[in-house]
Chains A and B, each alone.
Chain A
Amino acid sequence: MLREIRPAIVLSLVLTAITGLAYPLAMTAISGVIFPEQAQGSLIEKDGKVIGSALIGQEFKSDKYFHGRPSATPAPDPNDSTKTVSAPYNAANSGGSNLGPTSKALADRLKEDVDKLKAENPNVAVPVDLVTTSGSGLDPDISPEAAQFQVPRVAKARNISEDQLRQLVASNTQGRLFGLLGEPRVNVLALNLALDSASAK
């Protein structure tokens, strides 16, 4: 058995160096050359400043923008480091609500959000993704129905026609890949950027 000691130590170190350093560092270099934008995090710049990532959702509260899904991400409480406070779309601390199907807290939250949305647009059924939190709390997308649902509010706030907005939503809707994989969706940040540039014209 004693002759297994040397491989145990040396082989551990060699394989660690290969898989833990050589592989990630080499792939970082290669990725940076072949896919520089993706490797950096698909960042979007406007006037030279980073305004976010195409893949990471951000919080929209203003009536003039389409809103994303509710987010359950926390941040450390500045007053008490053992506790956390709600910090929607905290991209440095991802996570979901983890509330279960029989959770009273979840039932109450859903009811409150549904009531709020019904008051905003009483004519259409509330889309489920607009009141449920995502797994990451950073979901960049909403369903096309959730975008259409918000059209009357945004149209009113921006004083643009609903038809124009519906076209904008349609042109920002991504379908299933090969017509099969995933779900149809609208990237909220991309839609809002398109909205800003459409309004600026």
Chain B
Amino acid sequence: MTMIGWLQIILFCVIIVATTKPLGWYMTRVFNGERTFLSPVLRPIEAGIYWISGVDERREQHWLTYTVSMLLFHIGGFLIIYGVMRLQAMLPFNPAGQSAVAEDLSFNTAISFITNTNWQNYGGESTVSYLVQMLGLTHQNFLSAATGIALAVALIRGFSRASMRTIGNFWVDVTRTTLYVLLPICVVYCLFLVSQGMPQTLGDYVEATTLEGAKQTIAVGPVATQVAIKMLGTNGGGFFNANAAHPFENPTALSNLVQMLSIFLIGAALTNVFGRMVCNQRQGWAILAVMGVLFVAGVTVTYWAESNGTSTLQALGLTGGNMEGKEVRFGIVASSLFAVVTTAASCGAVNAMHDSFTALGGMIPLINMQLGEIIIGGVGAGLYGMLLFVILAIFVAGLMVGRTPEYVGKKIEAREVKMAMLAILVLPLMYLGWTAVGVVYPAAVASMANAGPHGFTEVLYAYTSSTGNNGSAFAGLTGNTLFYNLTLASAMFVGRFFMIIPAMAIAGSLAGKKTHPPSAGTFPTTGGLFVGLVIGVILIIGGLTFFPALALGPIVEHLAMNAGNVF
């Protein structure tokens, strides 16, 4: 670890804290339907979209209608991706002549993109056409991100409203998020990425003759438009197989910093939106503080572990940290920071191969996802995931003092706690259950690339990442098999929607409740005690759930490595 490394980490944190408030202010105006500086241009387009699709923007929806609208919207998204992938050979924008994608891989990819996971069983430049990249993947990057944000806003409305039956209009929330938040940022962001060297072209793959006379086919394409939203929307599915490690997908140290910032940008700002909507910004800062403490702890461990390297490297006298699977332009610190950022948020883009990380360095991304990706988290999904933990923490605090728990003026009762528990328990059931199957079923075992405990971790990582809708991988695992295409798709589906539906039920139930002004007996939820309590609840629930699995994977691998064992 070096001073200059820590300065890069500190710079990252400072910029995120600095952007939280202004973006939170802007986004709150967007979600409240107020005028913004972009309204003169975008308002006519917005109104036109409502007119043509028959949406009455003043009509609000009950939580069930809101949720059903969201599900219907996803069926549409699924069909578009699946269709375009299966038919890509007959459709335009296919200069590399890619043939139709197989049924199971198309199914997996379609589920993967509508659930904001973007697990890459497809090979980017070697599997899909430009049309799939644009119409299938780029479009769903926008819409699954917009959906996550809309759902988080709906849950916030549950807290901020009193005695109401409705929580907003899904169609309006998705449209406004896409038009006013995601698209404008992406337009500017995309141009920045191209300036750094990211291709944006519909031309053929380039045939080059290298200095030594060999032939090199260089894959290009409309990369920048997809990468902009892939990061901003915490989607993470790469244009190229190697994702953000590919020099075209992340050309410079500056593009790397901005990509990491854009992963956290909206998720961090949503904590401020929460604070503003419940009329106390300190509530938002308290949540951001919980996230910040867990984040910095994770960065420290991964940076330390990767700087130390492995015993194999040390035995050969190789110093300078674990550079296997990392790019020179990023080095140890920017690769470690990226790995923690991408898994704390539910992004899943990678700028280094997590499979080649040290045992402990790779364990932190795994833990980040197993905690439910609530450290900033996916856009929207991180906030509603964190609020579920907050409800539990408040419930625990209420039990300790024997009072009905309250949070931002709402009484937290049996229904909310049950729903929060349901969402929190379904996730480990998916990733632990499927991992158990994956390590005994012969066809699944054959997919492991590494032997020993590392092979186990590859499988655990795959199901954790897909259940958490992250999408990063220990990519040695051959995921493009019938078994993995189907089981990973089921994990992604359950991980997304069994979190969303209870969260929306809570939103509906909270919106209907009265708001109570704080009294002398109310537990203050803006101070250090609250922050500590939430962190404690997250670590205890998380730790009890997955510690045994970690002991079998990264922990035993670390001990084996120190004992000089290889597999």
Residues of A near B199 (CB, < 8 A) are: 38-41
B54 touches A10 (CB 8 A): yes
Counting CB contacts under 8 A, is B565 at the interface?
yes
Whole-angstrom CA separation of A141 from B350 in the bound complex: 18
B183 touches A23 (CB 8 A): yes
| Most A-side CB within 10 Å, residue of B214, B329, B352 | B329
Which of A93-101, A148-156, A159-167 touches B? A93-101
Given A24-B225, A28-B200, A40-B203, are A101 and B359 also a contact pair (CB < 8 Å)? yes
Which of B313-321, B377-385, B411-419 touches A? B313-321
Counting CB contacts under 8 A, is B242 at the interface?
yes
Which of B253-261, B285-293, B524-532 touches A? B253-261
Counting CB contacts under 8 A, is B391 at the interface?
no
Whole-angstrom CA separation of A114 from B329 in the bound complex: 22
A43 touches B138 (CB 8 A): no
Counting CB contacts under 8 A, is B211 at the interface?
yes
Given A19-B142, A180-B11, are A59 and B194 also a contact pair (CB < 8 Å)? no
Interface size class of A (residues with CB under 8 A): 35 or more
B242 touches A138 (CB 8 A): yes
Counting CB contacts under 8 A, is A7 at the interface?
yes
Residues of A near B206 (CB, < 8 A) are: 40-41, 43, 50, 53
B195 touches A38 (CB 8 A): yes
Report which of B11, B96, B225, B350 forms a contact with A28, defined as CB distance below 8 A: B225
Q: Mark B222-262, 1 if CB is under 8 A from A, else 0.
A: 10111001000000000011100111100111101100000
B4 touches A176 (CB 8 A): yes
Report which of B319, B475, B557 forms a contact with A96, defined as CB distance below 8 A: B475
Counting CB contacts under 8 A, is B39 at the interface?
no
Which of B67-75, B152-160, B434-442, B511-519 touches A? B67-75
Interface size class of B (residues with CB under 8 A): 35 or more
Which of B273-281, B446-454, B488-496 touches A? B446-454
Given A32-B200, A94-B246, A114-B318, are A20 and B139 also a contact pair (CB < 8 Å)? yes
Counting CB contacts under 8 A, is A196 at the interface?
yes
A133 touches B68 (CB 8 A): no
Q: Mark B345-386, 1 if CB is under 8 A from A, else 0.
A: 000001111011111001000000000000000000000000
Given A62-B212, A103-B450, A177-B253, are A136 and B247 also a contact pair (CB < 8 Å)? yes
Counting CB contacts under 8 A, is B476 at the interface?
yes
A135 touches B194 (CB 8 A): no
Which of B15-23, B185-193, B543-551 touches A? B185-193
B143 touches A196 (CB 8 A): no
Residues of B near A181 (CB, < 8 A) are: 8, 253-254, 256-257, 334
Whole-angstrom CA separation of A92 from B224 in the bound complex: 17
B222 touches A42 (CB 8 A): no
Counting CB contacts under 8 A, is A169 at the interface?
no
Residues of A near B186 (CB, < 8 A) are: 23
Whole-angstrom CA separation of A93 from B125 in the bound complex: 7
Report which of B126, B174, B190, B326 forms a contact with A93, defined as CB distance below 8 A: B126
Whole-angstrom CA separation of A159 from B236 in the bound complex: 48
B312 touches A20 (CB 8 A): no
Counting CB contacts under 8 A, is A104 at the interface?
yes
Counting CB contacts under 8 A, is A8 at the interface?
yes
Whole-angstrom CA separation of A91 from B220 in the bound complex: 9
| Most B-side CB within 10 Å, residue of A3, A25, A62, A129 | A129
Shortest distance from the beta carbon of A146 to any chain B beta carbon, whole Å = 8
Residues of B near A129 (CB, < 8 A) are: 320, 323, 328
Counting CB contacts under 8 A, is A128 at the interface?
yes
Residues of A near B198 (CB, < 8 A) are: 38
Q: A60: nearest residue on chain B (CB-CB)?
A: B212
Report which of B187, B218, B225, B561 forms a contact with A102, defined as CB distance below 8 A: B561
Number of residue pairs across A and B with beta carbons under 8 Å?
A: 384
Shortest distance from the beta carbon of A160 to any chain B beta carbon, whole Å = 17
Residues 165-222 of B contacting A (Cβ, < 8 Å)? 171, 174-175, 178, 183, 186-187, 190-191, 194-203, 205-212, 214, 216-220, 222
Given A5-B72, A24-B138, A141-B328, are A102 and B557 also a contact pair (CB < 8 Å)? yes
Q: Mark A61-105, 1 if CB is under 8 A from B, else 0.
A: 110010001000000000000000000011111111111111110
Whole-angstrom CA separation of A1 from B61 in the bound complex: 10
Whole-angstrom CA separation of A56 from B327 in the bound complex: 12
Residues of B near A185 (CB, < 8 A) are: 328-329
Residues of A near B297 (CB, < 8 A) are: none
Residues of B near A56 (CB, < 8 A) are: 216, 218, 247-248
A94 touches B68 (CB 8 A): no
A59 touches B328 (CB 8 A): no
Whole-angstrom CA separation of A182 from B187 in the bound complex: 25
Report which of B219, B326, B454 forms a contact with A100, defined as CB distance below 8 A: B454
Q: Mark B89-108, 1 if CB is under 8 A from A, else 0.
A: 00000001000000000000
Residues of B near A131 (CB, < 8 A) are: 318
Residues 63-85 of B contacting A (Cβ, < 8 Å)? 65, 68-69, 72-73, 75-77, 80
A15 touches B561 (CB 8 A): no
A135 touches B245 (CB 8 A): yes
Counting CB contacts under 8 A, is B294 at the interface?
no
A135 touches B450 (CB 8 A): no
Residues of A near B323 (CB, < 8 A) are: 128-129, 132
Counting CB contacts under 8 A, is B122 at the interface?
no
Counting CB contacts under 8 A, is B322 at the interface?
yes
Contacts beyond the supplied A94-B125, A99-B356: 6 A-B pairs with Cβ under 8 Å: A31-B200, A98-B355, A100-B474, A102-B560, A106-B312, A139-B327
Top 3 A-B residue pairs of the complex, sorted by shortest distance between their CB atoms: A182-B253, A20-B139, A135-B245
Q: Which residues of A contact B (CB under 8 A)?
A: 1, 3-16, 18-21, 23-25, 27-28, 30-32, 34-35, 38-43, 49-62, 65, 69, 89-104, 106-107, 110-111, 114, 125-129, 131-143, 176-177, 180-183, 185, 189, 192-193, 196
Residue pairs across A and B with Cβ atoms less than 8 A apart, 12 shown, are A5-B72, A8-B73, A11-B175, A23-B187, A24-B226, A58-B211, A91-B218, A91-B219, A97-B324, A97-B325, A103-B450, A138-B246
